[in-house]
């Protein structure tokens, strides 16, 4: 771009507005792709809101999966500060994800019904990226691969996640390397199956939370484990809030009717909302 003779002489040039092709912003963000991915199937104006909101949720799922995988990798390398940083970032992202419910949280049944038929057999439980989130939390289920068998790349990524240790598996392995008494059957469990709480793991977290200067470990080490426990608890609480916000939004929009995709709707969501993520971190508090 040629020099602008009327540009200010303060040292802060005017922005470049002349590009031969697409703008550098577009090249990096792919905004034109993102803003043309919405294809409503009804004439109801609310459907566009639903589409954009769910697409935004998928993007947040992607970021959170990245953060939790990073945290797991850092723990595998015994890098607690790196793991804590990733977990902390994920809490901000979870807050943004949970806020995504706001445009849908106040739908009346009539408003939702205006475009519900456009979903056909589509349902949020079919989200592969959300399933990867759940797998990282230890909520494993091989049956959840079945909906994706017609999409080889997606199925392969999800299958890989199924057979990898969850974030919590890596936490427990890290605690064992730090000398905590994590049972062998927990450390050597089939990681493709749902994690089940263990009394011995609960006892470990109780000791971490009760640790004092004369606990037999250094103050820095005890504080590090406590910070890890609190970071995981924050993640767990925000996941619980996500599930509850989903439940409330669904109750408002469709009551107790069968959910999209043939799911049990509210009944299924109630069951999910009742479960704690990283369960021993919650039950251990009763013993401190």
Structure tokens at 211: 């640790």
Say if residue 116 carries a ligand binding annotation. Answer: yes
Alpha carbon distance 18, 103 (integer Å): 37
- Reduce the DSSP state of residue 190 to 3 states and report it: coil
Cβ atoms of 235 and 91 closer than 8 Å: yes
2: left (phi over 0), alpha (psi -120 to 50) or beta: beta
Alpha carbon distance 82, 101 (integer Å): 30
Cβ atoms of 59 and 53 closer than 8 Å: no
Say if residue 260 carries a ligand binding annotation. Answer: yes
* Residues ≥6 apart with Cβ < 8 Å to 191: 140, 163, 164, 165, 166, 169
Say if residue 246 carries a ligand binding annotation. Answer: yes
Cβ atoms of 65 and 132 closer than 8 Å: yes
Neighbours of 160 (CB within 10 A): 11
Binding-site residue positions for heme: 246
Binding-site residue positions: 116, 246, 260
Binding-site residue positions for substrate: 116, 260
């Amino acid at each position: 771009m040629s020099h602008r003779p009327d540009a200010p002489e303060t040292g802060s040039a005017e922005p470049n507005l002349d590009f031969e092709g697409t703008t550098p912003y577009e090249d990096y963000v792919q905004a034109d792709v993102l803003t043309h991915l919405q294809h409503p199937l009804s004439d109801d104006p609310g459907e566009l809101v639903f589409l954009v909101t769910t697409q935004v949720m998928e993007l947040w799922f992607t970021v959170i999966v990245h953060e939790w995988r990073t945290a797991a990798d850092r723990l595998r390398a015994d890098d607690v500060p790196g793991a804590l940083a990733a977990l902390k970032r994920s809490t901000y992202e979870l807050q943004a994800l949970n806020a995504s419910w706001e445009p849908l949280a106040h739908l009346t049944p009539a408003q939702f019904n205006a475009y519900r038929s456009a979903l056909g057999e589509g349902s949020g439980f079919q989200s592969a990226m959300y399933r990867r989130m759940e797998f990282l939390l230890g909520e494993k289920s091989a049956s959840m691969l079945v909906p994706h068998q017609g999409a080889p790349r997606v199925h392969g990524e999800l299958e890989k996640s199924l057979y990898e240790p969850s974030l919590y598996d890596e936490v427990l392995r890290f605690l064992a390397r730090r000398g905590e008494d994590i049972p062998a059957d927990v450390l050597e469990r089939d990681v493709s199956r749902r994690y089940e709480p263990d009394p011995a793991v609960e006892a470990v977290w109780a000791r971490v939370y009760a640790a004092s200067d004369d606990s037999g470990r250094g103050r820095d080490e005890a504080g590090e484990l406590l910070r890890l426990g609190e970071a995981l608890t924050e993640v767990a609480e925000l996941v619980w809030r996500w599930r509850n916000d989903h439940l409330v939004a669904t109750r408002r929009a469709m009551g107790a009717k069968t959910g999209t995709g043939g799911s049990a709707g509210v009944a299924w969501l109630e069951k999910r909302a009742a479960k704690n993520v990283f369960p021993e971190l919650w039950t251990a508090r009763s013993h401190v």
